[in-house]
């Protein structure tokens, strides 16, 4: 059988001239040019010469920043949560990428160039996530892959998995059960690792292989450091619990997602070297976030915890620059600190900071251009580049960006946005029959 | 002597306010609101209805705005607060929330805006409001002083009310107006509607409207006979009578373009005079029709996903501007419970995407007040109006701006909330972590 | 015994070893149904022996289930029934790449009392690759006759079920007393769908992809173990007997292909991704969005069966002052409609060989859909190839069928006009040498006939009209009307709701032997929930159960017929 086509990543060349360049790592450079070749930032400097055939973009009066990275997203996925089991390390979002989602374009129109498509949060140990670049316009999911990005996986603590357990009559139904499930899973994985190590070391030609278990194998990969864990969590005590579990199993890297109460254990997080990816100001939607504060990101940053701000929403992703700016209202973060929350810091948390997250020579040309400083509420994204290819240009922004249209759809089909339904983390989590029959009672 | 004391007071305030942004609470000291006479001086005052006063004084007394201008005589017993370099705005008004009716989203026991039953217009949002909701201080320290809090659910879910975000009982919070909420039924749009003729669509619409029309027919009848002897008590219908009589405003929620025009036709057919359209997410599609109808609009949230997959990405951001430019009077709402504090940012987006700062500011001040029926009391800085104002370090639409002072009903409300107190407690936690003795022992590779 | 490598060789052997076509003439038959002779001669016909190849004034001789001879001057055996086929067109009968024709939907497995959703029994989860569709075949199933009437003689029938229902078999669409008589080739492909376990693992595509990988890898290891043990068991642990693993062994060795039931482009890509990861031989069927996959199909050479289902043509709003926006949206939507109906032509143009599958298509619309494809770029020759020679080749039976040639199976379609013409009607079918005749009407009569079955004396009289139903849901009782009427393609119906909610269309409405079945597709906040309703009509009462497929939960519906 012939090999499946390997997707070719489109790359571009462009010279972005005379903008205010917000590098994030090297301060703000006025009236500066950026030369992009073959999708990489070749040079950053003043008065650069335009090579032959390279498109010029006049950024005079505009602000140029690294493409925004959303470390927690559920757009572009055909399914979000395999909620029928509490441990599903074997599943992966790479199998369910949906490149047809118009949300991708709308995120580009908000300056976002990369997302972390995450499994849902109904399971204690969820599935593997997929780091992607928003190369909108293709029907092939592989075209969106962030080549070379480290593997990551989703864990979840607190009310989501316990509610899932209660609705299915299985463990966990309490935070105690969540810890137990984690320790159990890793203990089993240690045994699995030893079993297979023994088998592999065995020289007997008639050796019989132990049972293969993709789930256990993935947990082994986590313990070996090949998969980064991102854990949905809220309460300070469960965050602390996970630090201890990871310490016991020698897993040094962890990013807590949402982590509304991370500020209460900021010193412990800093000491461990753990990081956090939080909301700017969402709270009170569940009991475990009732005691939040919008100053969370600022407190964490001031205490030396690597922090990012994410969206977990197809709506919020479009104005992450505005969400990051809220740390100057709820806190005293500087411009560069605020910008880092949506660029360099999430890049580090995803292990892709060698490629993206700041405007530096040699990095990928994932760039967003704004008409005003991105931390101003009046800023309107103008252009967004991924690998030097322009995927969004407000001057050439067609009305209907759909890649596929169901011929049997109605042209006036509409869905009303409701923020409390926006949290896709929960999808597939419970058997809520009442929800499903509400069709008869609108 | 008095002026020295005043200056000391000012100094104290300045220290408190500008000391590293921590609105610090002394041990065992509880910050309480204070009433009295306040003179805010050296301010840039955005009156909204009478332009911007560059270097003015605002005098608050007896709960109202006593004087505003550049030449204001400050009474001797007034507390003088020098707000040099800062700006004063009317308290912002959110024209659609469930604030005070919802404490924790996932816990149904903590939600009080949705009652069971198809016909429940008599349900009163006002009395169900929890004046001690944690979200209320969190909201007001961001400059939102008044909200419209509304029941949700079926076709006629209840009676909404305007509340100021200060007070210990609903009556203390009541801002002066109520309104009946109606959810207009949705016309079939999806694949089911493909094969319907216009006549069939109308027939389905009539069927869906039946419950509503029956109720209003009864209300009209009740209005005629209510003074007779022997009229039964009928709370559901009685709640609608004031609308029939033109004494209470009806707020009709419609979002799809077809529903908006259907709602306008319905209003014309029934002849009710005090009606406001709410939601209006696809208003931009039928802006001219709405303008022609003369109805005012409350729309939002502005930060929302467009209603159709085929829509431009900024359809929701630009919606208020399109309506306003077509001649519609627009107020903005967040439809939030716990994050009403983001109202200025919704307005900021509306401003950026076509509305402009001035109109966007009106949409969350005077327009909102007038549409909600309290335009004579709040919504602008004018003599005689209630003293609902806030002081900011700059444009309140910008996130870098800090709100430094807050007045509601003439009370100086302390700039504190649970979230601020948590910031203070945990910015530098005591005890922190002992770095010589790691709590977590990890053998890093 | 030496293992046979190629599917077609295997089938040829199977076929030859099979009973073939035996006529037992010497029996008394009081029904009068038995034919007098098994030899037929169709004379003076236009015979399309294979796509692009036509003989006029030709005779086709059929004897004992095989085509004896085709030509203009052929000898007609003495015991032949001679049929004057002047003005008629003879084609090779159609081959359906994937359908449930002939299979009866089994009852849903009962939900185990203490269901442990992370690890349900394989039978409950729908992981039963060891099963065969043969167990579901029912020779009296009405779909056999109705597909035959549409021109099909062979169907690759696949079992009902979930993720891995079992293997599909090739069956001949003939009248038989017992299903065995219909089977042409057993278990020719392992059938797979993207249908998850009901409320248990694997519940959706995430779990299914991982489960596939796990099952496959373990099957490989088990086979290694089993092979080693078979050669020399001494000292080795006894291999566990896993029926699931064992069902995969012929797939591992590539003797048996996997047929994936996929519709949209993303589903096809997922199946191809699995194939790329694991290495099995893949066929895809039921494809509805092939227009995006041309490059992949070319690069991989995966056998493709396009779905015979096409979307309805979008109706545009007729208005003089249509807004620009509306016009633009309609134009874009039409663009995609054109892609759907033009994809067969596109694949043909790109040199990709494909067949057709009828699963998911409404029987009454199949020929109309093919005509639509022809109007949109598919040549008639390739249309015919996709129904005959292509599937024969892809399913490994091209040595015995697919064309009208001497020595091949007597599977013939006899039409009153060139088969893809609008007014063409099928006058006769030959399946495995058995003759089936149909009444044909001229155009006007034909349309009158469909209209008249709306009368009260028709076979559907018992269900037509308006019913008042009560539906017992967890939220209480819902009431409304169930209205059933005749439509162009069979029964149609709609569920209305007394509280003014939008109506819900009834799909796949079937009424037979007092059993009324249909599906309701409900929209719950963007997610689609399928309700399968089955019940009995007795007089003016209807009692049924509605099963929520996704969660294996059953609810009661009862209805009473309204008086006129």
Residue contact C500–B211, C-beta within 8 A = yes
Structure-model confidence comparison of residues C441 and B232, the more confident one? B232
- Give the chains touching B; criterion: ≥3 Cβ pairs < 8 Å: A, C
Task: Output the pTM of the full model.
Answer: 0.89
Q: What would be the CATH architecture of the domain defined by B92-376? A: Alpha-Beta Barrel (3.20)
Instruction: Please report, to the nearest 10 degrees, the dihedral formed by the alpha carbons of residues B194, B198, B200, B206 taken in order.
Output: 120
Is residue C43 included in any domain, yes or no?
Answer: yes
Q: Is there a domain that residue C414 lies in?
A: yes
The residue out of C161, C193, C225 marking a domain boundary is: C193
Which pLDDT band holds residue B439 (cuts at 50, 70, 90)? low
Instruction: Using pLDDT thresholds of 50, 70 and 90, give the confidence band for residue B442.
Output: low
Domain count, chain C: 4
Q: How far apart are CA C62 and CA C410, in angstroms?
A: 6
In a shared domain, residues C383 and C425: no
Q: Closest-CA residue in chain C for A168?
A: C117
Q: Which domain holds residue C533?
A: 2-29+445-561
> What are the pLDDT digits (tens) for A171-204?
999 999 999 999 999 999 999 999 999 999 999 9
Are both C88 and C100 inside the same structural domain?
A: no
Mean pLDDT per block of 10 residues along chain C (564 residues) reads 44 46 65 87 96 96 95 92 95 97 88 88 95 96 93 97 96 94 96 92 95 97 95 92 95 97 94 97 97 95 96 83 86 96 97 95 90 97 97 96 96 96 95 93 53 53 87 69 79 75 76 82 61 83 79 77 75
For residues C287 and C387, state if they share a domain: yes
- The residue with tokens 């109808």 is B293
* CA-based nearest distance B208→chain C, Å: 4
Query: Would the pLDDT of B395 be above 90?
Result: yes
Q: For A101-143, what is each residue's pLDDT tens digit?
A: 999 999 999 999 999 999 999 999 999 999 999 999 999 999 9
Chain C contact present for A205, CB below 8 A: no
| pLDDT of the residue at C502 | 61
Q: What is the pLDDT of residue A433?
A: 45
Closest CA to A265 of A238, A298, A226, A284: A238
CB contact under 8 A, B190 and C315: no
The residue among B427, B406, B441 whose CA lies nearest residue B141 is B406
B262 close to A394: Cβ distance less than 8 angstroms: no
Judged by CB atoms closer than 8 Å, whether chains meet at C205 and A95 is answered as: yes
Cβ of B210 within 8 Å of Cβ of C500? The answer is yes
Who among B281, B432, B440 is closest to A244 (CB)?
B440
**Angstroms from A1 CA to nearest CA on chain B:** 38
Burial class (CB in 10 A: 0-12, 13-18, 19+), C23: middle
Residues B150-154: what's their mean pLDDT?
93
Using CA atoms, how far apart are residues C344 and C379, in angstroms rounded to an integer?
9
* pLDDT value of residue A7: 55
Please report whether residue C141 resides in a domain.
Answer: yes
Q: Do C499 and B211 touch (CB under 8 A)?
A: yes
Q: Give the CATH number of the domain where residue C461 resides.
A: 2.40.128.120
Of all residues in chain A, the one with the smallest CA distance to C302 is: A1
C199 phi-psi bin (left φ>0, alpha ψ -120 to 50, beta other): left
Quote the distance between the C-alpha of residue C289 and its chain's center.
18
Give a yes or no: residue C238 inside a domain.
Answer: no
The CATH number that applies at residue C374 is 3.20.20.140
CA dist B66 and B75 (Å) reads 11
A21 within 8 A of A11, measured Cβ to Cβ: no
User: Does the pLDDT at position B110 exceed 50?
Assistant: yes
Regarding whether C83 and C141 lie in a shared domain, the answer is no
Residue C467 lies in a domain: yes
Nearest to B266 by CA among B383, B184, B339, B177: B184
CA–CA distance, B174 with B166 (Å, rounded to integer) = 9
Angle at A420 between CA A417 and CA A425, to 5 degrees: 105
**Domain residue spans in chain B?**
32-91+379-437, 92-376
Inside any domain, residue C225? no
Segment C334-373, tens digit of pLDDT: 999 999 999 999 999 999 999 999 998 888 899 999 999 9
Quickly count: other Cβ atoms within 10 Å of residue C498's Cβ.
14
**Average confidence score pLDDT of chain A:** 92
CB contact under 8 A, C503 and B204: yes
The pLDDT > 70 percentage for chain B reads 88
Dihedral Cα B146, B152, B156, B158, nearest 10 deg: -50
> Closest to B303 (Cβ–Cβ): which among A319, A331, A408?
A319
Same domain, yes or no, for C168 and C56?
Answer: no
Band the pLDDT of B434: cuts 50, 70, 90: confident
Q: How far apart are CA B350 and CA B354, in angstroms?
A: 7
Residue C516, H or E segment: strand C515-524
Q: Where are the domains of chain A?
A: 8-67+357-399, 68-350+405-433
Cβ of C505 and B211 within 8 Å?
no
Q: Contact at 8 Å (CB) between C118 and C197?
A: no
Is A167's Cβ below 8 Å from some Cβ in B? no
CATH superfamily of A8-67+357-399: Urease, subunit C, domain 1 (2.30.40.10)
Tell me which chain A residues have a C-beta less than 8 angstroms from the C-beta of C336: 404-407
Domain A68-350+405-433 classification at class level: alpha beta
In the B/C pair of chains, how many CB contacts fall below 8 A? 27
Q: What is the pLDDT of residue B24?
A: 53
SS3 call for B57: strand
Enumerate neighbours of C (3 or more CB pairs within 8 A): A, B
C489 and C359 co-located in one domain: no
Residue A351's pLDDT is 98
In CATH terms, the fold of domain B32-91+379-437 is Urease, subunit C; domain 1 (2.30.40)
Q: How close A381 gets to chain B, by Cα (Å)?
A: 11
> What is this model's ipTM?
0.93
Instruction: Give a three-class secondary structure readout of chain A.
Output: CCCCCCCCCCCCCEEEEEEEEECCCCCEEEEEEEEEECCEEEEEECCCCCCCCCEEEECCCCEEEECEEEEEECCCECCCCCCCCCECCCCEHHHCECCCCHHHHHHHCCCEEEEEECCCCCCCEEEEEEEEECCCCCCCHHHHECCCCCEEEEEECCHHHHHHHHHHCCCCCCHHHHHHHHHHHHHHHHHHHHHHHHHHHCCCCCCCCCCCCHHHHHHHHHHCCCEEEEEEECCHHHHHHHHHHHHHCCCCCEEEEECCCHHHHHHHHHHHCCEEEECCCCCCCCHHHCCCCCCHHHHHHHCCCCEEECCCCCCHHHHHHHHHHHHHCCCCCCHHHHHHCCCHHHHHHCCCCCCCCCCCCCCECCEEEECCCCCCCCCCEEEEEECCEEEEEHHHCCCCCCCCCCCCCCCCCCCCCCHHHCCHHHCCCCCCHHHHCHHHCC
């Amino acid at each position: 059988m012939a090999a499946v086509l390997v997707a070719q990543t489109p790359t571009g060349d462009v010279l972005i001239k005379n903008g205010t360049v917000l590098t994030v790592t090297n301060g703000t450079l006025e009236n500066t040019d950026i030369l992009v070749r073959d999708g990489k930032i070749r040079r950053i400097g003043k008065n650069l010469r335009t090579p032959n055939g390279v498109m010029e973009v006049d950024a005079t009066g505009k602000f140029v920043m690294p493409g925004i990275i959303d470390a927690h997203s559920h757009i572009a996925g055909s399914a979000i949560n395999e909620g029928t089991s509490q441990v599903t390390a074997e599943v992966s979002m790479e199998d369910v990428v949906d490149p047809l989602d118009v949300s991708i374009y709308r995120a580009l129109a908000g300056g976002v160039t990369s997302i972390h498509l995450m499994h849902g949060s109904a399971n204690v140990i969820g599935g593997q996530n997929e780091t992607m670049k928003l190369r909108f316009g293709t029907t092939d999911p592989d075209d969106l892959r962030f080549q070379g990005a480290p593997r990551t996986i989703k864990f979840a603590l607190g009310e989501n998995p316990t509610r899932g357990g209660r609705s299915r009559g299985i463990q966990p139904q309490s935070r105690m059960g969540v810890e137990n499930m984690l320790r159990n899973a890793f203990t089993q994985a240690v045994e699995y690792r030893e079993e297979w190590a023994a088998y592999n070391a065995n020289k007997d030609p008639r050796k019989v292989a132990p049972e293969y278990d993709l789930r256990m194998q993935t947990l082994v990969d986590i313990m070996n450091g090949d998969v980064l864990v991102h854990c949905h969590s809220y309460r300070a005590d469960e965050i602390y619990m996970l630090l201890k579990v990871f310490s016991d199993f020698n897993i040094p890297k962890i990013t807590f997602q949402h982590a509304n109460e991370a500020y209460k254990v900021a010193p412990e997080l800093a000491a461990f070297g753990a990081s956090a990816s939080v909301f700017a100001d969402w709270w009170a939607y569940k009991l475990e976030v009732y005691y939040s504060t919008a100053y969370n990101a600022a407190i964490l940053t001031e205490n030396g915890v690597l922090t990012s701000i994410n969206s977990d929403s197809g709506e919020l992703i479009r104005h992450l620059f505005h969400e990051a700016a809220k740390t100057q209202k709820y806190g005293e973060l500087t411009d560069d600190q605020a910008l880092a929350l949506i660029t360099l810091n999430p890049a580090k948390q995803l292990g892709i900071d060698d490629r993206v997250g700041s405007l530096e020579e040699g990095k990928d040309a994932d760039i967003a251009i704004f008409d005003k400083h991105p931390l101003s509420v009046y800023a309107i994204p103008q252009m967004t580049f991924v690998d030097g290819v322009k995927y969004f240009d407000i001057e050439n922004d067609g009305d209907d960006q759909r890649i596929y249209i169901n011929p049997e759809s109605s042209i006036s089909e509409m869905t009303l946005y409701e923020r409390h339904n926006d949290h896709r983390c929960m999808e597939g989590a419970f058997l809520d029959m009442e929800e499903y029959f509400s069709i008869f009672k609108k | 002597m008095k002026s020295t004391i005043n200056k000391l007071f000012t100094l104290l305030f300045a220290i408190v306010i500008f000391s590293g942004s921590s609105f610090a609470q002394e041990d065992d000291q509880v910050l309480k609101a204070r009433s009295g006479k306040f003179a805010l001086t050296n301010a840039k005052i955005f009156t909204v209805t009478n332009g911007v006063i560059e270097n003015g004084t605002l005098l608050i007394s007896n709960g109202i705005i006593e004087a505003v201008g550049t030449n204001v005589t400050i009474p001797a017993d007034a507390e003088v607060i020098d707000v040099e370099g800062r700006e004063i705005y009317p308290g912002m008004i959110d024209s659609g929330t469930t604030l005070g009716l919802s404490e924790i989203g996932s816990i149904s026991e903590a939600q009080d805006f949705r009652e069971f039953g198809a016909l429940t217009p008599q349900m009163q949002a006002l009395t169900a409001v929890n004046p001690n909701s944690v979200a209320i201080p969190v909201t007001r320290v961001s400059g939102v002083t008044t909200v419209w809090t509304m029941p949700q659910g079926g076709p006629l879910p209840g009676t909404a009310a305007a509340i100021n975000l200060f007070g210990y009982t609903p009556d203390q919070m009541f801002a002066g107006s109520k309104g009946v909420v109606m959810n207009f039924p949705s016309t079939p749009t999806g694949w089911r509607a493909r094969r319907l003729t216009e006549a069939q669509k109308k027939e389905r619409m009539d069927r869906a409207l039946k419950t509503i029309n029956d109720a209003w027919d009864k209300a009209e009848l009740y209005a005629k006979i209510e003074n007779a002897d022997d009229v039964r008590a009928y709370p559901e219908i009685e709640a609608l009578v004031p609308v029939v009589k033109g004494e209470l405003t009806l707020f009709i929620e419609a979002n799809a373009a077809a529903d908006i025009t259907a709602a306008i036709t319905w209003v014309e057919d029934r002849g009710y005079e005090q009606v406001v359209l709410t939601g209006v997410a696809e208003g931009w599609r039928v802006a001219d029709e709405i303008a022609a109808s003369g109805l005012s609009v409350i729309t939002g949230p502005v930060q929302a996903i467009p209603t159709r997959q085929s829509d431009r990405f900024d359809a929701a951001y630009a919606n208020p501007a399109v309506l306003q430019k077509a001649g519609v009077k627009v107020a903005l709402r967040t439809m939030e419970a716990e994050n009403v504090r983001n109202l200025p940012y919704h307005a900021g987006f509306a401003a950026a995407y076509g509305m402009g700062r001035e109109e966007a500011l009106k949409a969350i001040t005077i327009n909102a007040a007038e549409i909600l029926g309290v335009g004579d009391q709040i919504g602008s800085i004018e003599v005689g109006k209630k003293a609902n104002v806030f002081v900011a370090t700059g444009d309140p639409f910008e996130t870098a701006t800090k709100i430094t002072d807050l007045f509601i009903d003439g009370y100086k409300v302390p700039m504190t909330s649970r979230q601020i107190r948590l910031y203070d407690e945990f910015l530098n936690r005591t005890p922190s972590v002992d770095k010589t003795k790691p709590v977590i022992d990890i053998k890093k590779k | 015994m030496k293992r046979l490598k190629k599917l077609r060789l295997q089938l040829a052997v199977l076929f030859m070893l099979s009973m073939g076509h035996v006529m037992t003439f010497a029996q008394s038959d009081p029904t009068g149904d038995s034919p007098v002779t098994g030899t037929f001669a169709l004379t003076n016909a236009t015979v399309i022996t294979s796509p692009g190849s036509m003989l006029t004034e030709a005779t086709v001789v059929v004897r004992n289930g095989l085509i004896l001879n085709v030509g203009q001057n052929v000898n007609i055996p003495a015991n032949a029934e001679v049929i004057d086929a002047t003005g008629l067109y003879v084609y090779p009968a159609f081959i359906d790449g994937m359908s449930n024709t002939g299979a009866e939907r089994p009852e849903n497995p009962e939900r185990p009392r203490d269901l442990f959703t992370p690890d349900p029994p394989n039978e409950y989860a729908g992981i039963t690759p060891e099963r065969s569709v043969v167990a579901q075949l029912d020779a009296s199933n009405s779909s056999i006759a109705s597909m035959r009437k549409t021109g099909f003689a062979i169907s690759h029938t696949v079992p009902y079920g979930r993720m891995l229902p079992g293997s599909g078999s090739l069956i001949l669409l003939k009248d038989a007393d017992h299903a065995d008589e219909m089977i042409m080739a057993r278990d020719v492909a392992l059938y797979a769908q993207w249908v998850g376990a009901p409320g248990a693992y694997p519940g959706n595509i995430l779990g299914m992809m991982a489960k596939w990988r796990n099952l496959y890898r373990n099957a490989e290891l088990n086979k290694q173990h089993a092979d080693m043990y078979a050669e020399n068991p001494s000292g080795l642990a006894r291999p566990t007997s896993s029926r699931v693993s064992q069902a995969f062994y012929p797939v591992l060795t590539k003797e048996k292909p996997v047929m994936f039931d996929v519709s949209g482009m993303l589903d096809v890509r997922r199946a191809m991704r699995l194939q790329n990861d694991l290495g099995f031989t893949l066929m895809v069927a039921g494809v509805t969005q092939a227009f995006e996959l041309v490059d992949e199909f070319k690069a991989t050479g995966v056998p493709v069966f396009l779905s015979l289902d096409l979307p309805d043509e979008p109706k545009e709003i007729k208005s003089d002052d249509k807004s620009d926006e509306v016009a633009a949206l309609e134009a874009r939507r039409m663009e995609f409609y054109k892609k759907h109906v033009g994809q067969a032509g596109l694949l043909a143009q790109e040199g990709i060989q494909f067949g057709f599958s009828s699963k998911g298509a409404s029987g009454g619309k199949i020929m109309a859909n093919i005509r639509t494809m022809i109007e949109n770029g598919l040549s008639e020759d390739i249309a015919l190839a996709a129904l005959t020679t292509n599937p024969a080749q892809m399913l490994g039976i091209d040595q015995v069928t697919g064309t009208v040639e001497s020595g091949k199976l007597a599977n013939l379609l006899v039409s009153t006009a060139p088969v893809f013409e609008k007014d063409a009607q099928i006058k006769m079918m030959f399946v495995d040498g058995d003759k089936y005749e149909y009444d044909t009407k001229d155009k006007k009569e034909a349309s009158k006939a469909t209209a008249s079955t709306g009368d009260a004396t028709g076979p559907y009289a018992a269900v037509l009209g308006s019913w008042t139903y009560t539906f017992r849901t967890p939220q209480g009782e819902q009431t409304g009307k169930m209205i059933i009427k005749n439509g162009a393609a069979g029964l149609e119906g709609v569920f209305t709701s007394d509280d003014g909610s939008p109506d819900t269309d009834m799909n796949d409405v079937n009424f037979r032997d007092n059993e009324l079945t249909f599906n309701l597709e409900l929209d719950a906040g963007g997610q689609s929930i399928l309700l399968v309703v089955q019940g009995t009509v007795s007089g003016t009462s209807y009692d049924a159960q509605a099963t929520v497929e996704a969660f294996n939960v059953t609810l009661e519906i009862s209805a009473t017929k309204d008086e006129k």
